[in-house]
Amino acid sequence: MSLRALRPYILAVLMTLPGMIVHLAFGHGELSPIVVALLSGMAILGASFLLTWACEVAQLDIPQAVAVAVVAFIAVLPEYAVDMYFTWMAGQEPDSAYSHYAIANMTGANRLLIGVGWSAIVLIFASRYHSAVNLTDDKRTDVLFLGMATLYALLIPIKGSLTWIDGLIFFSIYAWYIWIIAHRPCEEEEPEGPAAVLAELPRKSRLRTVIGIFLFSALIILFNAEPFSEGLVASGKLLGINEFLLVQWLAPIASEAPEFIVALMFAFRGNAALALGSLLSSKLNQWTLLVGMIPGVYAVSSGGLSPSINLDTHQFQEILLTAGQSIFAVALLLDLRLRVREALMLLILFAAQLLSPVYELQLEALLGLSHDPLRLHGFYAQVYLALSAILLIRNWRQVALLRHGFRI
């Protein structure tokens, strides 16, 4: 194995070292929060790349049932670590803003996956191959269970609470999904890029190496989750930037960049179905396990199942907007095909709601309305839901075909 082949791994490990050195040797009390956020964020990014490559190789050596559940969870560990830190602190300090940060991070990660990730895959693939992206029939199961989870998520802002019972329901939906796909025949994928380097090792050496990468990456992520999260919040206050927005958008970008990059590379090489399918599975994972873990972690941290995590109208509007985007995405994928115009719709609507803080005051002044910071959240949620209703009614036959997603 040549040094050149190991270059991506060496670079990823080097990215993790500054954050660990600062954390272990000096702490981060005397450093600027901007420096802390940058170094710890870079460490999480490096560990995320390592996890992405190791997860791809791990599926060669462990049973399919284990691979589907465990590898899917490990792949999104960076995102979970940050969100669970905020949730844990919310349980320790119930009246603080930590619960708001937890919801911000979760909703931002979910909306980025669809608004940017799915759209970019289709647009890159279409620019090279002049074609829409067609998913395989087995992905109907993912679309079905994403729809089920989203329909339940729509109830959360309506009833005004996110409780441990909701968490159990989300876990149950994901467990049902895992049970179905774990019983399907294993389809081996040949690792590409840096992952192919590990795949060439003898089986025992490969397994030990993958386990070592998992442990190293997990430690890096867990050590840096707290300084990265706190550094982002403190940086926002220091720079006069809304820390809620930093947590919502910057943190998911750092933790999910490797997954995005790998998916985009597959799309660029012509395997867009695999790329979109992987991000569809990640969306389902986050929209069930990530949301479901929030009330559970909060209950453990606070020392009781009641009261539930402290959320206000803003957080419930965020959940509604995220659920609206999710059900719209499901409606677009009923035929297991995502076209360029549909990808553009996802991207434009995402960009419009992302940039709404920039133009909402001018728009309200133009329309003669008093300022309401949640007005455009509600508007875009209604747009998503209205478009979804139109598509679901018009394509009711394809909705009925989703029942085949229950088949093993």
pLDDT (tens digit per residue) in 327-361:
999 999 999 999 999 999 999 999 999 999 889 98
Q: Give residue 71's Cα distance to chain centre.
A: 15
DSSP-derived secondary structure for 203-266: HHHHHHHHHHHHHHHHHHHHHHHHHHHHHHHHHHHHHT--HHHIIIIIHHHHHHHHHHHHHHHH
Whole-model pTM: value is: 0.88
Q: Give residue 375's Cα distance to chain centre.
A: 25
Q: What integer is the mean pLDDT of 120-134?
A: 91
Domains and CATH numbers, the chain: 7-354+371-406 (1.20.1420.30)
Q: Which pLDDT score is estimated for 25? A: 59
Q: Which pLDDT score is estimated for 394? A: 95
Distance CA 122, CA 332 (A): 13
Considering the chain, what is the average pLDDT of its residues?
Answer: 87
pLDDT band at 116 (very low <50, low <70, confident <90, very high): very high
Q: Which pLDDT score is estimated for 1? A: 60
Q: Which pLDDT score is estimated for 325? A: 97
